[in-house]
Amino acid sequence: MAGIGDTLAATYDFIVVGSGSGGSVVTRRLVEAGHEVLLVEAGGDGRGVPVLEDPRRWTEIAGTEWDWGLSYAPTPEVGGRAIAIPRGRVLGGSGTTNAMMWYRGHPSDYDRWVELGCSGWSWADCLTAFRRAETWAGGPSDLRGGEGPLRVAPPADPHPLALAMIEASGQAGHAVLDDPNGASNEGAAPANFNIDAGRRFGPVEGHLSGILDAENLTVALSTAALALLWQGDRAAGVRLCRDGERHEARASRGVVLAAGAFETPRLLIGSGIGPEPTLRALGVSVVAPRADVGDNLQDHPLVRGVNFAASRALPPPRDNGGGAILNWRSEPTRDKPDLHAFPVAARSATPALAERLSKADFAICVGLMGSKSRGRLTLTGATADGPLHIDPGLLSHPDDRKALRLGIEAIKDLARQPALAALTERRLCPTEEDDLDAFLALACGTFFHPCGTARMGSDDEAVTDPRLRVNGAESLWVADASVIPDIPSCNTHSVVTMIGERAAEFILEDA
């Protein structure tokens, strides 16, 4: 029964659906604890595939067999454009296709979760799990881990553009930090990457590779989870489909959903947990009415980008194409940084602007990590496996547009500082003649950080409780970005890894 194979047993202790940043952690911890585990992954085995292993090539993955091919719905705020939202369809999930950024945001992000009813999720509570998850190249400290499964390091050989951006940030009056995951995140710093010896080091390398041969683990690849199986209100297993054939796998102790911010709510709705009118329209028996399943969808809007022609030839991209980050406040009265920028050692533009920027050599992209806009996910077909309508509400809150306008102006100023000016021949986009609101509508993309669609909390409408148990069901947990109640001011890979660590802790205590 061990490892990756075609044979499925009738019963396991636990079934984990999804092998990404959260599911891989839960799987590892349950296997290490001696439980019989079935890990279900809809994608295939991407180990040894160059485009997945080379950090510089991660932008090539979207639209391939390793991507679900999803898009955000067109809305007026983004010029009526559909915006691609790549999601990993492969062992390791989006942790095998992402930009490999390891960034935890501001401590108050997690204290805010406590304010929203998520007791036990303060910064102090979460820091323990963050440290447990990583081996930081700089060695362990009160803030960094030294014995975790995931290797985290700054750039081994920073790109000149990354170094120039950090230097220009200091010239513009920002703090210059050694580590953005240190005591403060406000200022410019070298990025933290899940890169080791020039190769991606994600959930597969960190969590799964060491247990794939374990006798108590079965991995079912290219296998879709269709719905939960119930005994009353207890999650007793999962209905699966592989190569067109249906299977049923039972779980004696429980099921963990870690399929991500889109597929986890779909699975919940298709299994009878969701808005009651939706369940009845789909002909799904109601197990637990939960109106908020699919609501509270959040993402970070990203401006792609402020593009430049270089004054001299720059080296090819290194690491993930960036190498530095800058965090600052859109307005001094804010209590923490809400704007975030990074360099791209190539053109960075949405399809709506790409032709206009054919001669761009590099870009500085700015995004809003304190976004207030909210959206929702809905099922539009007659069955639960039908099309999704995904509207994150990008730029729908006026404060988001205001902050991003200020962010663009700040990047213009940054480019005028001597360190970046020395690399710049001219700014190509936006020009001084461009209306910033019109530019935003065309340049807005996403950091690929969807979350919040099965939020945790203590109120009657919360989908999961603070121990990540699905309300109204027994023996069912969620361990992915869908449980996030309020989007943190950072890339979400590290956050979901931390959620996976905490979920495993809760599950083992409950079991």
H or E element that contains 166: helix 160-171
Give DSSP secondary structure letters for 468-490: -BBTT-BSEEE-SGGG-SS--SS
User: Rg of the chain over CA atoms, in angstroms?
Assistant: 22
| Structure tokens given for 438 | 């019109």
CA distance 242 to 239: 10
Does 300 qualify as catalytic in the annotation?
no
Cβ pair 395, 301 in contact under 8 A: yes
Cis bond leading into 305, ω under 30°?
yes
Say which residue the tokens 């005994």 belong to: 231
Catalytic residue among 106, 159, 174, 449: 449
Can you name the residues that pair with 150 across neighbouring β-strands?
134
H or E element that contains 364: strand 362-368
CA distance 180 to 234: 43
Per DSSP, the three-state class of 293 is: coil
Cβ pair 261, 452 in contact under 8 A: yes
Can you name the residues that pair with 476 across neighbouring β-strands?
255
What is the identity of the amino acid at 393? G
Residue 190's nearest CA partner among 177, 201, 199 is: 177
Q: What residues are annotated to the active site?
A: 449
